Structure 1
Amino acid sequence: MEGPAAGEPAAEPPAAEPALERVDPGSVDPATRQVLADPGWQRLHPVTPLLRGWKTLAVIFAVLVHQNFEHLLEPERPSWQLLAAVGGGIVLLTLLSVVWGVLAWRRTRYRIDAEAVHMESGVLFRQQRRAQLDRLQAVDVVRPLLGRLAGLAELRLEVAGGAGGGVRLAYLKEEEAQRVRNALLAAAAGVRYAEGEEAPEAPERPVVEVPVQRLLLSMLFSGLTVWVLVAVAGAVAAVFADGGVISLAAAAPLVLGALGAAWQRFTHGFGFSVAESPDGLRVRRGLLELRSQTVPPGRVQALRISQPLLWRRPDWWRVHVNVAGYAVGVEAQGEERLVLPVGTREELARVLAVVLPDLGTDEAPIDVVSAGLTGRDRDGGFTPVPPAARWLDPLARRRLGFRVTERAFLSRGGVLRRYLDVVPHERTQSLALQQGPWQRRLGLASVSLHSTPGPVAPQVRHLAAEVAAELLQEQSVRARTARAAAGPERWMERGTVPPARAAAPVPGERTAAPEA
C-alpha cells in the first residue's frame, strides 16, 4: 500500500477505500488485533527453548571435554568410568538446561496495543519492558540458520532510550513475524485501517544491491587483508623459528581472530541490498543468518561516509549511521550500522537521496559529499582550521574543517582514510568544547557534537578558539530551532506538515566570526 512520504501531508483517499485515521491512544490497533487474533498476552513459539538452549549445551559439552581430555587419554585408568562420569554430567546438565529453558519460555509473554509493545520475562527475577511505538527507531527480522530450518524468525524492536530499551520476540513463525512487523510499523507511523483489515506490507523501490565480487575485492583492498596476511606470516615464521608445534599453538589465536573477522565481514555483507519504502529504509543482508532491517523515516541520527586509501582508484565508498536504541558493542561498532558496505559514487548518491534527501543547499547532496571527502582548505565551502594546527596534526591539517548548511552540520578529516560526518541539526543531542594544554598554548580548541552511541562521533579538531566558541553557541541555537520545527514521531498522521528548515544563521551569514 502506497503511503505519503515522510513529512508530507497525508492525501485523502477515495471514499471506496478505507481512510487513514489518527491512532486513538489507549485503543487496541485493529491491524495488530487481526495479526494476533487475541489482543491479550501471547507466548512465543514452543520450539523457542530448543533454539535458545543449543548454544548453552555446546558450551557445557566443550568445557567438560576440555577439562577431562588428558585423563581420557591415560592408559592406566579405565576410560569407560571417566566416559560414564562425563556422559552423566552432560546428561544432567542438559536436563537442567531444558527444564530452565521451558520455565523461561512459560514465564515469557508479550502484548501489543496501539501505543506500545509490552513484554514480561524472568524466572527468578521478573522483568517488564515497554517499548513505545512512537519512539520506534528500527525493526529487524532476523532468521538464524536453525530458525530458518524450523520456519521461525526473531523480531527485534529498537527504541530510543539507549541499550536495553528494545524488545526481542524470539521466536515467531516467519509469516507471523512479518505480519507483526507490518502492523507495528503502521501503528508507529500513526496509521490504522478499518476494522478487520490487515496491515499490508508497504511496497518498496530497490536502491542498491552490492555484488559478491565487489564485496570480495573490497575486502582484498582493505586493512583487514593486511592483518590476515601478517597473522599468517607470523604463525609460519614462528613454526620455522623453533620447529615446534608450541609456536603454532601460540600464534593460532591471532590467525583465527583475523580469519574470523574476515569471515564475519563477508557474511554480514553477503547479499546486501537497500530499498526505499513508505515505512522507511530497508536493508537486507546475511549468508548464514538473514537479517532484514527497517529504519523508519527521520530515525538516522548521524552519518559517516568513508573511503580507505585502496578504494580511491575504483572510487568506492562506505556509509555508517547512528540509530538510537541499538546496543553498544561489537554490533554497534560496525556491521549493524552499515547502510552501504561498499558502493560506487552513483550508488552513494542513491543512498543519500533516501537517508538525507535535503542538506539545505542548492547543490546536490552528492556534490556536497564529494567536496567534503576530496577537498582541502576552503574547497566546497568548508571552514578550515588555522595554520597553527600544523603543530598538532601536520598531515591532516588541510583536510580538517566543517561546513554548516541550512539542514545539517558536516565535518571532514582523514588523510589515508578520508571521512565525512553529517549530523542533521534536529538530531544533535549535545555539544562540547574541548581544549588541551597544547591547544591552549596555540589558541586552538575542538568542538564535538554528541549523537546516539554508534560508529559516528562527529568532531572538528583544532579550530581557532574564537571560532570554536562561536560555533558552539550558534550550533546550539540551530539544534534547538530545528527540533522545535521537526515533524511528529508518527510521520504519517493526518495533518502532518513537512518540517520547517532551521532559521539559525549559516556560516555565510555570520557577521562576528573572527578570521581563522
Structure 2
Amino acid sequence: MNETRAEPAPERRLHPWSWLFVLIQQLKQFILPLIALLFFGQRANDDGPWWTNLAPLIAVGVLAATSLLRYFTYRYRIGSDVLSIRDGWLHRSLREIPFARIHNVVVHQSLLHRLFGVAEVRLESAGGRKPEAQMQVLRLDEALALEQQVRQRGHVAAATPDAAAAAVPDSDTLLCLPLGEVIRLGLVSNRGMIVAAAAFGGAWQLFPRKLMANFIESLVQRTSGYIGQLHLGLLSTALAVVVLLALAMLLLRGLSVLLALLQYYGFRLSEAQRRLTVERGLLARLRTSVARRRVQAWTLHEGVLHRLLKRRSLRIDTAVAQQGQNDQRTLKELAPIATPEACDALVRHLLPQAQWPREQWRGVGAGQWWRLCLFTAVWVPLAVAAASWQFGAWGLLPLLWLPWAAFKARRRVQRMGWSVDDRLVAVRGGWWTCWWRFAELDKLQALRLERGPLDRRCGTASLWLDTAGANAATAPPLRLQFVPLAEAQALYAELSRTLARRRLRW
C-alpha cells in the first residue's frame, strides 16, 4: 500500500528590494566613518593618485555588493511547525526555528517600508541576546501571513500569502487610543526633555568643548544683556525669568506631544487566539505581538500629571531576548495611557482567575519611616559641616532638606503595602509617583529572604521575588519590605512550596 507523503513547502526569497533596505541599514551604521573618509580623506589625498578620492564610493559599492549577495543567498521555508532559514555563500548555515520557541513577533514598517509596501519581521525568543530571525524585508501580506503562522503554532499550513492572510481570524479590540488620549500621553511624558538632553549631550561630544562653552556663555550674555537693556526692576526681572522658563517647558511639552503622535498614533491593542497584538505609529507603523502566557509581571504607574488627568499606564514584562528589553519594538506597554477603570478592566480580562484591584493590603508599620531617610540624615550633617567651614552661615541651608526627607519618608511608608493569595502577589509603593507591581505565583522564578543590620535590630526582613524578563531600570522591584520576621519566614516557606510544586509539574 503506497503512502502519500506531503511535499515540503517551497523555499522563498526575500522581497526583491530587500537589498536596498539592508544597504540603508549598513549605511546608517557606517555613516560617520564614511563622512570622515569623504571630507578628511579627500584633503589628505589632494596630492595623491586620483583614485584615492574614490574611497567613499568604493566603500558604498562594497556595502551594496554584500547587500545583493545576501539577497541571492537568503532562503526561508515555512513548514507546518518550523521555520527554516538558509543563508550564506562561503560560510553557509541552516537554522530550524520551531514556532513554539518564538515568543514575540515584530512587524515593523518605516515610512520607506510603507512606500514600497514591505515590512521588516523579527522573531524573538526568551533567553537569547539576538532575535531568532530578522527578515529584511518581506511583502506586507507575507509578513502578516508569517505572523499568523506563528500565532497558530503550526496548526494551519502556510500555503500562499493570500490564503494565509485570509485565514487570519477576527481579533477582539481591547483598547484604542483616540487622538485626545495620545495628546494627553505626550503631556504627561518627559520624552521632549529626554530628547533635548540627548541632543545637547550629543552636540557636546561631537563639537569641541571650548566651542560649546563659548556658545553657552555667549547665549547667557546676550540674554542677560537684553534683559538689562529693558531696565526692569528686581521683581520684573524675576517675572521675566519665570516666563522664559515657562516657555521652555511649554516647548518641551509640545515636543513630547509631537513624539507621542509619531510613536502612538493609531494605537490599538487586540487579542486573537490568546495572543496580544499592538499596532501603533504615525509615519512608521509597528506591529508586535506576544502570547498571553509569556507575560511575566505587570506594572501600573500613576504620576502627578496622570492623577490630574485621571489616567494611568499599564506595562508588562515578557520573556523575550534580553537586548530587546529597552527596544521600542518590544511589546512592553498594553496601555500607554488610560483611565484607572480601563486599566483595571484590562487586568481582569487578561488575569480572570486573579482578583484585581486588591481590596486588602498588608501595610508597613508607621514607625519604620526613619529607615527610609536614615541615609539622608547621615550625609546632610556632613555636607553642612563642610559647607559651613567654606561658606559660613550659608552652609546651614542644606539642613532644610531634613524635614522634607522626613515628610517624604512618612508618606511613602503610609502607602507601602503588599498582598499575596493563591494566585497573585502584589506590591505597591511610591508617593509623588504611585505604582503597583504584581505577578502570578506560577511566573515566579526565584525567592530571596534578606535581613540587613537594621532588619535584625527591628525584627523584620525583606522578601525579593524575581520573574523572567524583569528589568530594574524600567520597573520597580517586586519586593516586600519591612515584613515582621515570623511572617516573612512563613510566606517564604509557602511560596517555596508553590515553586516546588510547579517544578514537579514541569
In structure 1, distance between residues paired with 2:340 and 2:446: 32
Q: Which has the higher contact order (CA 8 A, sep 6+)?
A: 1
Alignment pair present for 1:404 and 2:424: no
1:274 to 263, 269, 279: 269
- Mark the CA change 1:260 to 1:431 in structure 2 (over 3 Å): closer, same or farther: farther
- 1:38-117 equivalences under 5 Å are 39-58=9-28, 60-66=30-36, 69=39, 88-117=54-83
Deviation for aligned residue 1:105: 3.2
Extract unaligned runs of 5+ from structure 2: 202-211, 224-250, 373-408
C-alpha deviation, 1:90, in angstroms: 1.7
Q: Secondary structure at the match of 1:184?
A: helix
1:146 aligns with 2:106: no
Looking at structure 1, the residues matched to 26 and 113 of structure 2 have their Cα atoms a distance apart, in angstroms, of 16
Deviation at 1:462, TM superposition (A): 2.8
Which of 293, 297, 304 is the equivalent residue of 1:302? 297
1:221 lines up with 2:241 in the alignment:
no
Pairwise CA distance, 1:419 = 0.9
Measure, in 1, the Cα distance between the counterparts of 2:443 and 2:307. Answer: 30
Q: 1:228 & 1:85 partners in 2: Cα distance? A: 41
1:159–1:325 CA contact under 8 A, matched in 2: yes
Equivalent residues of 2:102, 2:150 under 8 A apart: no
- 2:259, 2:330 → 1: CA distance? 9
Contact 1:131 1:165 in 2 (8 A): no
| C-alpha separation in 1, matches of 2:117 and 2:365 | 60
1:433-467 CA-partner distances (Å, limit 9, x unpaired): 23334334333332222112244442223323333
Pair 1:449 & 2:461 matched: no
1:158 to 124, 146, 149: 124
- Cα pair distance change 1:84/1:421, threshold 3 Å: farther
Secondary structure at 1:312's aligned position in 2?
helix
Query: Which SS does the other structure have where 1:287 is aligned?
Result: coil
**1:56/1:469 Cα in 2 relative to 1: closer, same or farther (>3 Å)?**
same
Look up the match of 1:513: none
Partner letter of residue 323 of structure 1?
Answer: T
- How do 1:197-216 residues align onto structure 2 when only pairs under 5 Å count? 198=164, 200-216=167-183
Relative distance call for 1:461 and 1:40 in structure 2 (3 A) is farther
Q: Secondary structure at the match of 2:326?
A: helix
TM-superposed CA distance for 1:54, in Å, is: 1.2
Contact 2:278 2:331 in 1 (8 A): no
- Is the contact made by 1:166 and 1:325 (CA closer than 8 Å) also made in structure 2? no
Amino acid at match of 1:161: G
For residues 343-384 of structure 1, what are the alpha-carbon distances to aligned partners after superposition, in whole Å with 9 as ceiling and x for unaligned?
11232134224432330x4xxx2x32xxxxxxxxxxx31122
CA distance in 1, matches of 2:16, 2:279: 27
Paired letter, 2:130: G
- Aligned with 1:463 (options 475, 483, 504): 483
> Of 133, 153, 161, which aligns to 1:167?
133
Letter in 2 for 1:65: I
Aligned equivalents of 2:159, 2:56: Cα separation in 1: 53
Q: Which residue of 1 aligns with 2:153?
A: 187
For residues 289-340 of structure 1, the C-alpha deviation after alignment (integer angstroms, 9 at most, x for no partner) is 2111222232211111111122112211111111112443563589741111
User: What's the counterpart of residue 417 of structure 1?
Assistant: 433
Normalised to the residue count of structure 1, the TM-score between the two structures is 0.70
Greater shift in the superposed pair: 117-126 or 428-437: 117-126
* Structure 1 segment 257-296 matched on structure 2, within 5 A: 265-296=260-291
Residue equivalent to 1:355: 350
Q: Which amino acid aligns with 1:410?
A: A
Q: Name the SS of the counterpart of 2:153 in structure 1.
A: helix
- Aligned residues of 2:18 and 2:137 also touching (Cα < 8 A): yes
1:412/1:421 contact within 8 Å kept: yes
User: In structure 2, what residue type is equivalent to 1:174?
Assistant: L
1:341 correspondence with 2:303? no
Shift of 1:174: 0.8
Matched to 1:347, the amino acid is: A
Task: Name the Cα RMSD after superposition.
Answer: 4.0
Q: Residue 431 of structure 1 aligns with which residue?
A: 447
Alpha-carbon distance in structure 2 between the residues aligned to 1:65 and 1:82: 19
Structure with greater helix percent: 2
Q: CA deviation at 1:167?
A: 2.2
Cα offsets for 1:94-140 (capped at 9, x unmatched)? 11101222233344333333333233445676555443322332222
Match of 2:361 among 361, 382, 407: 382
Between structure 1 and structure 2, the one with the greater Rg is 2
- Equivalents in 2 of 1:288, 1:405: separation in Å? 45
Offset of residue 243 of structure 1: 5.5
1:312 maps onto 2:307 in alignment: yes
Amino acid at match of 1:46: P
Between 473-482 and 297-306, the greater mean CA deviation after superposition: 473-482
Cα contact 1:410–1:420 (8 A) shared by 2: yes
**Contact 1:227 1:258 (8 Å CA) reproduced:** no
Amino acid at match of 1:219: G
Counterpart-to-counterpart distance in 2, 1:68 and 1:258: 38
Contact 1:448 1:459 in 2 (8 A): yes
- Summarize the Cα distance change of 1:57–1:282 in structure 2 as closer, same or farther, 3 Å threshold: closer
* Residues 242-261 of structure 1 mapped to structure 2, 5 A cutoff: none
Once residues 195 and 329 of structure 1 are traced to their aligned partners in structure 2, the CA distance between those partners, rounded to angstroms, is 31
Task: Say if 1:259 and 1:161 are closer, same or farther in 2 by CA, change over 3 A.
Answer: farther
Q: Evaluate the alpha carbon distance shift between residue 473 and residue 334 of structure 1 in structure 2; reply closer, same or farther with a 3 A threshold.
A: farther
The Cα shift of 1:194 comes to 12
Q: 1:429, 1:450 within 8 Å by CA — same for their partners in 2?
A: yes
Contact kept in structure 2, 1:120 and 1:128, CA below 8 Å: yes
> Take 1:472 and 1:332, find their aligned partners in 2: how far apart are those partners?
34
- How far apart are the structure 1 equivalents of 2:330 and 2:9? 36
Judged with a 3 Å threshold, the aligned counterparts in structure 2 of structure 1 residues 237 and 102 are, in CA distance, closer, same or farther, namely closer
Instruction: Give the number of aligned pairs.
Output: 420
Is this contact kept in 2: 1:109–1:120, CA < 8 A? yes
TM-aligned CA distance change 1:386 to 1:483, over 3 Å: farther
TM-score (norm 2): 0.71
